[in-house]
Amino acid sequence: MNQTSKPSQPINNPAPVMLVTGGAKRIGAAIVRAAHDQGYRVIVHCHHSKQEAIALADALNNARPDSAVVVPADLTVVDNSEVLHEFTQNIMQAFGQLDVLVHNASRFYPSPLGSINHAQWDELFLTNAKAPLLISQALYPYLRSQRGCIISLLDIHAHNKPFKNYAIYNMAKAAHRMMVQSLALDMAPDVRVNGVAPGVNILPETDSDQALDPQQQKSIIDTIPMQRIGNPAEIAHSVLYLAQASYVTGEIIAVDGGRSLTLAGGQA
């Protein structure tokens, strides 16, 4: 968990600090850039995408010196209290404060009935439920001292409209959704906790096992009232709104182009 791109003057800067887990690419990187554009100092957590995270932090530091730090870690840090403490200290040493924690890191893949196994359960629940809860708990004292907030990236399928063949993912995201609502009560009034539930706001990478062919993409767009795929910047916009909405807690905003209005469930 070596810290990289550490600023030379990490304290005595009044700008708020945001940590984004899984912040190196895609939606996470869009949130990092949007926050940075609004004057935040940013901590980019990553695991496998360390080079992308460093490149992102370097670009942000070139635009505004001493404004971005990378903290790499496997989310299994939550399984060991001493390692989790070290991870927490690495985060707090970056800038000496934390105002916003964004849970974006997630794994997403099918677990068809008949092939479900312990490894899938452990990985999907780790990234989508267990790690967000235990990281929130570990960072709660620091967020409380700043009257800060937590924002979780969820899924419109986490509430009553599950993906077919994604039982474990659906269950884990549903647990994460309940975490948002539970912590909103447990951390009030000092820390606000909210969520953003994307619909189809970014397509799977074309070289991944989740890639969609043009016909699949068209069939999805046909179910979206706004008749287009969303984009990461639209998720980032909602995250930044919740970061500043001082009287909003326990809420989950769907950013899905209206898809949840027409979705019957069972569709990917």
| Active site (annotated) includes residue 169 | yes
How many whole angstroms separate alpha carbon 190 and alpha carbon 242? Answer: 15
Please spell the DSSP secondary structure of 210-251, one letter per residue.
Answer: T---HHHHHHHHTT-TT-S---HHHHHHHHHHHHH-TT--S-
Which of these is catalytic: 40, 140, 166, 169?
169
- What residue type is 185 in one-letter code? L
Those residues whose C-beta lies under 8 Å from the C-beta of residue 219, and which sit 6 or more positions away, are none
* Residue 104, phi then psi, degrees to nearest 5: -115, -30
* Residue 252, phi then psi, degrees to nearest 5: -130, 115
User: Which residues are identified as catalytic?
Assistant: 169
